A and B are shown apart, each in its own frame.
Chain A
């Protein structure tokens, strides 16, 4: 074996923060006054007193205390308090709110099975009282989204897609648009991974029809590339390339960092069809586009690292462009790689390669 490959994926499951420092340790409530622990215990005692004496408001007080215990770095107390509310809810809303919060906090602690159980209890109640959905749409969609994320993490993609329909299947206007868009994204991914590209494509079309701005915003390049891929899983037909080229030529989308990925995909499609010269020419164009985009960004912009990484990778590809009949592109790339070479030995090797390109010493084809 002359190639050694180390696949570093699938190293393990996400760790439970409960084993280490709490993810919310040392935090204070982020809205309003800092919550001191004594006042929280006092509020909790008041909630319990009201519950025991049959006074109203105990569920609300307890849920609020649970939230603030969580924010103050005591997730286990929060979950326990919510358990009390669930055992003795003051109202149906009290119950579904406490189940959502409990599912949320259990999920954050990595206790996925218990979180799923809490959300499923919530859904069972809402299914018996569908009139609650429009009334408490924001909280309900929050539960659905977290449930979908849990199922997705467990690779239960078909179940995740079904769960997302709780929101996506509702009348437009029922839910917050942001939640709907987010669940469209989750549903598309779940359908694709569950082996239903036609279903995923249909969801992309629904998303674009309902929210046309998703085809123009900062994530549009990703979404449109996904649509092209779902239409042509071979990623090499004329139609696929034409669709990508249309994105590439769009002046508005062309100003977004995501356009660099579109350029890469076009080059990949050319390579898949054996059009090597067209591929390296596209790489050069993509490199130029990345350079132009970088010039317009502040150093602190998160897109900078992405574009620089793309540039480096493109140069590595372009360095062998002479084998595709474009020594000019290979020379351009090698000169820039020499500038970036971290060691003298690497630089020397690159200079040898550069000289070979200049000499036209392309080895004969095998």
Chain B
């Protein structure tokens, strides 16, 4: 840029603006190398002020809790289906262990052209929204693994096939940041009234998202109410412990355990 580009009407503000223009148009900025925003489209203008490192926008979306990811029902078969002599019960079998399928505690990914400072700031906003304690490790794509595997047990039962499953859901959030390295605030003076014009350079954008395990529930199926179970839980999707004799519990002759009820 040169002085010729920075014409303006005489006056104190013009003088100051011109000084700033000279400072930034002609080399003072070169020692540290910021970019130079374009001049305005008007013919006569002056550079009024300069700002640095402006976050043009930072949008963080709503936290979305995903629908339940329902695991398959796992079954531990009745261990002594049949009618043993009263007073004799075979020992229970081992519980069935349902191991954790979900391995990640939280994940994030931020891509795009924003500065590292801008990206890490976006990450902080995203993870803050998810209430994740976070210490930046220099990586913009990362998954925190769970430190230990969790296992749930489905106990064995004499007369009922016992069922259990693990459900989980995540929370997700996404966001965008646009930053401008340098902002020039010009005043165009060739019209009847002064017009303020803003130009930027070094405008860069990054987007990212983060998710975390939000809730996990291990469900054990109930007995049917007709078999002495509690009221059905609608979250069990109609699944109950199954009586191993494939008959209703009552009435009828017992087929399992001394009284047929297990």
A-side interface residues toward B, CB under 8 Å?
2-15, 17, 19-27, 29-35, 39-40, 42-43, 56-57, 60, 63-68, 70-71, 91, 93, 97, 100-101, 104, 107-108, 110, 134-139, 142, 145-146, 149, 153, 176, 178-179, 181-182, 185-186, 189, 219, 222, 261, 264, 302, 306, 309-310, 312-313, 316-317, 319-320, 323, 337, 341-342, 345-346, 349-350, 352-353, 363-366
Contact = CB atoms under 8 A, between A and B. Distances in A.
A349 B72 contact: yes
7 A-B pairs with the lowest CB-CB distances in the bound complex, closest first: A32-B33, A33-B33, A23-B120, A316-B70, A31-B202, A14-B128, A20-B135
Contacts of B204: 30
A134 B52 CA distance: 18
A135 B73 contact: no
Contacts of B128: 13-14, 153
Interface residues of B, number: 99
B215 A346 contact: no
A9 B70 contact: no
B117 A178 contact: no
Contacts of A32: 32-35
B33 A35 contact: yes
Contact of B183 (A27, A139, A185): A139
Q: Which of the listed residues A24, A30, A63, A189 has the most CB atoms from chain B within 10 Å of its own CB? A: A30
B201 A57 contact: no
Contacts of A30: 115-116, 181, 202, 204
A189 to B, nearest CB: 6
A345 B29 CA distance: 67
A57 B101 CA distance: 61
B258 interface: no
B209 A302 contact: yes
B31 interface: yes
A27 B129 CA distance: 25
B89 interface: no
B62 to A, nearest CB: 6
A8 B116 contact: no
Interface in B113-145: 115-117, 120-121, 123-125, 127-129, 131-138
A43 B23 contact: no
19 contacts: A6-B216, A8-B212, A9-B215, A13-B131, A30-B115, A31-B182, A64-B29, A71-B117, A108-B117, A138-B198, A139-B183, A178-B57, A181-B59, A302-B209, A309-B66, A319-B70, A320-B239, A363-B224, A363-B240
B53 to A, nearest CB: 4
A268 to B, nearest CB: 8
Contacts of A43: 31-32
A182 B215 contact: no
Contact of B120 (A19, A24, A317, A365): A24
Contacts of A139: 51, 54, 183
Interface string B214-257: 11111111101110000011010111101000001000000000
B69 interface: yes
A8 B57 contact: no
**Interface of chain A: mostly helix, strand, loop or mixed:** helix
Q: Point out which of A13, A136, A145 has the most chain B C-beta atoms below 10 A from its C-beta.
A: A136
Contact of B217 (A5, A134, A353): A5
Given A57-B19, A139-B183, A93 B49 contact: yes
B131 A12 contact: yes
Contacts of B69: 309, 312-313, 316
A342 B198 contact: no
Given A3-B217, A353-B73, 13 more contacts: A13-B131, A23-B121, A30-B116, A31-B202, A63-B51, A91-B49, A97-B51, A104-B53, A104-B55, A134-B196, A176-B56, A222-B61, A313-B70
Contacts of A185: 59, 61
B136 A21 contact: yes
B75 interface: yes
B171 to A, nearest CB: 8
Contacts of B129: 153
Contacts of B127: 14
